[in-house]
């Protein structure tokens, strides 16, 4: 039985017609519901017939939706028929580099175009069938976020570990024809898809602008559990990618009047380059991809007022110099080395509670510890090693605050 299980009624139409937590909404106007997208699409009419299953009984609620009225529903899952799983075998897949014993949700390798539309997740488009394409067109699911890695039709299937991967450029042209905006990403692996391959990929994607609106250039992330042949870029390789992409930005500014290709912050921080100003990102929010996150932090940072209880701000090793410079002597910025995943993982969002406890316990601390909110960004609100903020506070004997006022650390 398809349909969505309601976990909370927040008001609006749902409250007015008497829907309850625990109800399953099966269809609207006779149309079965596969996910919250269907709910939005089918409910965009004045008269509604809601088929509901409650306590073993199924019934119809008929009502009229008032202009601008919210449905007022929260479901237990955004996709009622499960999550479309990834069929690829990428050697650099971060999820495959997770150690055993973590919470189950961390091992889900989703590649669901609906999550791309709903949450901005990057997908490969390798598992779409005719029904999916029809739905993208009918419901105009735009924008979508696509992992490219390489536009070369021979190289990309090798990188994905999927010989059956369709021609990506043909798929992107098809999306462009449907009026779907696409944001793309390239995870750069030294010696694999950099150099001439990166040039080709940026050039091919820019040729589809404005349907393809952006490409984020992201360095490969590898944990100590990685067993493949991939390597993180050396300082020389980092500089080469930075020069290559900034060269493209200059040429694309002349042609498209936007930078189009955007470097993740790590390319700047590893070379101690200043991150670009906000206008460099052409009004786009690509921070979920690590692009422009530092700039947003710096621009939104609120001045530190006098606090009689000293603060200790925790961050990853990559961001620590920026944080120290931003706060000056007003507080103590502490970089935590990621022993759990390995020292090549340097971002704050992948720190674990145990690393924070072990390293802060060996030094002086302020009365208040400010932890990166991204450490606890999963649906459960725990760190990657399953710790709650309150557990870290108890272990350290300090008050814990998540996130810095006005910006994320």
The share of the chain scoring above pLDDT 70, in percent, equals 96
β-partners of residue 184 are 146, 215
Cα 193 to Cα 202, 241, 342, distances in angstroms: 11, 11, 24
* Long-range contact pairs involving 20-28 (C-beta distance under 8 Å, separation at least 24): 20/54, 22/54, 23/52, 23/53, 23/54, 24/52, 24/53, 24/54, 25/50, 25/51, 25/52, 25/73, 25/75, 26/1, 26/2, 26/51, 26/52, 26/53, 26/58, 27/3, 27/51
pLDDT at 406: 47
For the chain, the structural domain boundaries read 4-75, 95-289, 301-402
pLDDT at 303: 62
Identify the band that residue 409 occupies on the pLDDT scale cut at 50, 70 and 90.
very low
Is pLDDT larger for residue 313 or for residue 403?
A: 313
Cβ-contact 114, 83 below 8 angstroms: no
* Long-range contact pairs involving 242-245 (C-beta distance under 8 Å, separation at least 24): 242/267, 242/268, 242/271, 242/273, 244/194, 244/195, 244/198, 244/199, 245/198, 245/202, 245/217
Span 152-156, average pLDDT: 97
Instruction: Give 386-404 pLDDT, tens digit per residue.
Output: 899 999 999 999 999 998 6
Instruction: Give 342-382 pLDDT, tens digit per residue.
Output: 999 999 989 999 999 999 999 999 889 999 988 987 667 88
Cβ-contact 390, 354 below 8 angstroms: no
Instruction: Give 107-127 pLDDT, tens digit per residue.
Output: 888 999 999 999 999 999 999
Which residues, 6+ apart, have CB-to-CB distance to 168 below 8 Å?
A: 125, 146, 148, 151, 153, 156
What single DSSP character describes residue 339?
T
Strand, helix or coil for residue 221: coil
CATH of domain 95-289: 3.80.30.10
- Is 4-75's fold the same as 95-289's? no
pLDDT at 285: 95
pLDDT at 327: 81
Q: How far apart are CA 134 and CA 121, in angstroms?
A: 20
Identify the band that residue 306 occupies on the pLDDT scale cut at 50, 70 and 90.
very low
The residue length of the chain stands at: 409
pLDDT at 105: 77
Is pLDDT larger for residue 326 or for residue 390?
A: 390
41 CA to centre of own chain: 24
Q: Is the pLDDT of residue 265 over 60?
A: yes
β-partners of residue 63 are 48
Does 210 sit behind a cis peptide bond, omega within 30 degrees of 0 on the bond before it? yes
Instruction: Give 51-97 pLDDT, tens digit per residue.
Output: 999 999 999 999 999 998 999 999 999 999 999 999 999 999 998 88
Tokens, residue 357: 């406890």
CATH of domain 4-75: 2.30.42.60
Q: If 0-12 CB within 10 Å is exposed, 13-18 middle and 19+ buried, where does residue 309 land? A: exposed
C-alpha R_g of the chain: 23
Is pLDDT larger for residue 341 or for residue 105?
A: 341
Span 21-42, average pLDDT: 96
Cβ-contact 352, 385 below 8 angstroms: yes
Give kind and range of the element (H or E) at residue 390: helix 389-396
253 CA to centre of own chain: 27
Cα 10 to Cα 68, 71, 77, 182, 398, distances in angstroms: 15, 8, 16, 32, 36
Cα 394 to Cα 121, 357, 364, 390, distances in angstroms: 35, 10, 16, 6
Q: Is the pLDDT of residue 302 over 80?
A: no
């Amino acid at each position: 039985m398809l349909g969505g299980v309601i976990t909370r009624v927040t008001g609006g139409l749902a409250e007015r017609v008497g829907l309850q937590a625990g109800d399953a909404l099966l269809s609207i106007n006779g149309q079965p519901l596969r996910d919250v997208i269907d709910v939005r699409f089918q409910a965009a009419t004045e008269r509604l017939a809601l088929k509901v299953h409650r306590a073993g009984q199924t019934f119809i609620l008929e009502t009229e939706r008032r202009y601008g009225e919210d449905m007022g529903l929260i479901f237990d899952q955004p996709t009622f028929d499960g999550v479309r799983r990834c069929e690829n075998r990428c050697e650099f897949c971060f999820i495959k580099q997770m150690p055993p014993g973590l919470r189950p949700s961390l091992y889900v390798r989703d590649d669901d175009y609906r999550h791309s539309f709903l949450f901005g997740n990057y997908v490969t488009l390798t598992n779409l069938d005719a029904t999916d394409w029809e739905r993208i067109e009918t419901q105009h699911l735009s924008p979508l976020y696509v992992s490219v890695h390489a536009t070369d039709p021979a190289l990309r299937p090798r990188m994905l570990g999927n010989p059956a991967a369709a021609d990506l450029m043909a798929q992107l042209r098809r999306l462009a024809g449907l009026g779907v905006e696409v944001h793309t990403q390239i995870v750069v692996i030294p010696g694999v898809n950099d150099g001439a391959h990166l040039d080709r990929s940026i050039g091919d994607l820019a040729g589809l602008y404005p349907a393809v609106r952006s490409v984020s250039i992201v360095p490969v992330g590898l944990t100590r559990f990685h067993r493949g042949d991939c390597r993180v870029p050396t300082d020389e390789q980092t500089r080469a990618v930075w020069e290559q992409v900034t060269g493209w930005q200059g040429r694309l500014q002349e042609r498209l009047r936007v930078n189009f290709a955007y470097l993740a912050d790590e390319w700047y921080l590893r070379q101690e380059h200043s991150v670009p100003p906000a206008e460099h990102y052409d009004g786009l929010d690509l921070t979920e991809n690590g692009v422009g996150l530092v700039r947003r932090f710096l621009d939104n940072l609120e001045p530190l007022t006098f606090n009689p209880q000293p603060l200790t701000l925790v961050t990853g090793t990559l961001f620590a110099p920026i944080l120290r410079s931003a706060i000056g002597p007003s507080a103590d910025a502490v970089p935590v080395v990621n022993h759990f995943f390995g020292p090549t993982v340097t971002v704050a969002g992948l720190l674990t509670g145990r690393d924070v406890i072990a390293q802060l316990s060996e030094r002086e601390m302020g009365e208040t510890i400010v932890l990166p909110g991204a450490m606890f960004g999963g649906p459960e609100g725990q760190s990657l090693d399953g710790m709650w903020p309150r557990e870290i506070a108890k272990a350290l004997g300090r008050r814990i605050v998540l996130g810095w006022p006005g910006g994320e650390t």
